[in-house]
Structure 1
Amino acid sequence: MTPVHEVYAIKYAEHDRNASANFIGGDAHDGPMPMDYFVWLIRGPSGVWAIDTGFNQEAATARGRRLLRNPATALGLIGESAADIRNVIVTHLHYDHAGNCELFPAATFHLQDREMQFATGRYMAHQCMHAAYDVFDVLRMVGSVYAGRVRFHDGQETLAPGISVHLIGGHTMGLQAVRVHTRRGWVVLASDASHYYRNIGEGKPFPIVHDMGDMVEGWQRIRGLAESPAHVIPGHDPQVLLRYPPPGTGLSGIVAALHEDEQQVR
């Protein structure tokens, strides 16, 4: 039988914004639609896997985001230490997903070939393409390549029984989603393939996009990988913390246990 894993979403930052900023073409019923920033963690028979590494206070200040807790130290909320993590899946290299890599000194980083190609290639000569990247985060990842600490993937690959990565593209050239087997079935961490439930649910793309065709086709791929639409976890939606229960006392609004059944949204 396929091994069963625990999966957690950990909120580390937030940003106030309106719905019109979250959809190409805006939103007819514009109003507040804040963005939460998450890292994720998988725990199971193959050990502990971190997904993404977030950003630090310097990046938060530069970009006008509220950092609530460093995402690396926030792993301690569920009993894990960044220093001990052996594997980190990097969904893509945008600043809010690939900072703090130096705080994971024992980790191998899992990245799609096309993401490194994109982040270091010709498209980065254009401000509209490189604005969501931090050049120093990219350089640190290049340094990790030279240190033998990056494992590249080309498309779909099983990393361990019950854990796989899947090239989606769209938002960036090499964006990958993560599929995890849990007690409630196959959960897909969509990351920025769908920032909010409404992006994939209503077919309304987020404005930062490299390839629109890959983005919308990627939604179909994600639906096919997940046990049901309720098993798709978007990358930045505050609803995640309402739909899934916290794993313990004092963690409500901070950590969501994604392997548990959805609870009624308040």
Structure 2
Amino acid sequence: MSNTPVSTLNSLLADGAVDLDATAATWQDAITQAGAQLEREGAIDSDYTAAMVQSVVDNGPYIVVAPGFAFAHARPSEAVHRTAISWLRLREPVEFGHPKNDPVRLVVALAAADAHAHTDAMKDIARVLADASRRRALDEVSSVSELRDVLSDTAPKKSPEAAAAAPTVPSTSTHEPATDSVESKGKILTVCGNGLGTSLFLKNTLDQVLDTWGWGGFVSTEATDTISAKGRAKEADFLLTSAEIARTLGDVGVPVYVIENFTSADEIDRALRELYDV
């Protein structure tokens, strides 16, 4: 038995909610199986599984936040009995319809009892996906204990490329970020359909880039849903989101920038440089 320390992510993932050799014919089938794992653990009712599928029907494949990885979730509801995660690795990947990140082999489903209980677990997953060696290991582990070993190492990893390219701001400096392209309000919103899943992936990576730049003290970030983002967009410098959610948002009065890989510090670094004209 593994002596792996328990991370937040591991604590929400029951052994019975892991399948490392699943077969699915469609993306709907994959999400349904991931939901069924949570149902068997008593974390959710079947209504929540249906809501996860419907979220993709309504909003498109925005849950495919990184190459080969889908993060299935829906809004908190009475169908959720406790916060939990399931882990489904497919023998053969399936298409979700994402233009860049398909096909998907790994589907992780989240049942959140509220909008905050799962935040640390989302950071854990984002860090794993951002680390190339650990991401590869997720496709290679052959047991639950091996999976837990990979998930347990949750120390933040900064992108070497972003660190080398980012402007240096001394910690004692009072210099504020350059904002030639937008009039800065000191806030960036990350947006997804529900405001508690994929937008948190994006926020976590964004925070890492801002900290690498030395801008963490100047620019605040917030994960939100489409409805809130439409009402609050003008509070922010700009919005970061997926192509599907960008189409849903439409014109909100501030720039809406599409990110393909929510766990890529390099991609977000490039976006910030363009938006802030750095």
Higher strand share: 1
TM over 0.5: no
**Larger Rg computed on CA atoms:** 2
Given the two structures, how large is their TM-score scaled by the length of structure 1? 0.28
Q: TM-score, normalised by structure 2?
A: 0.27
- Greater share of residues in helix: 2
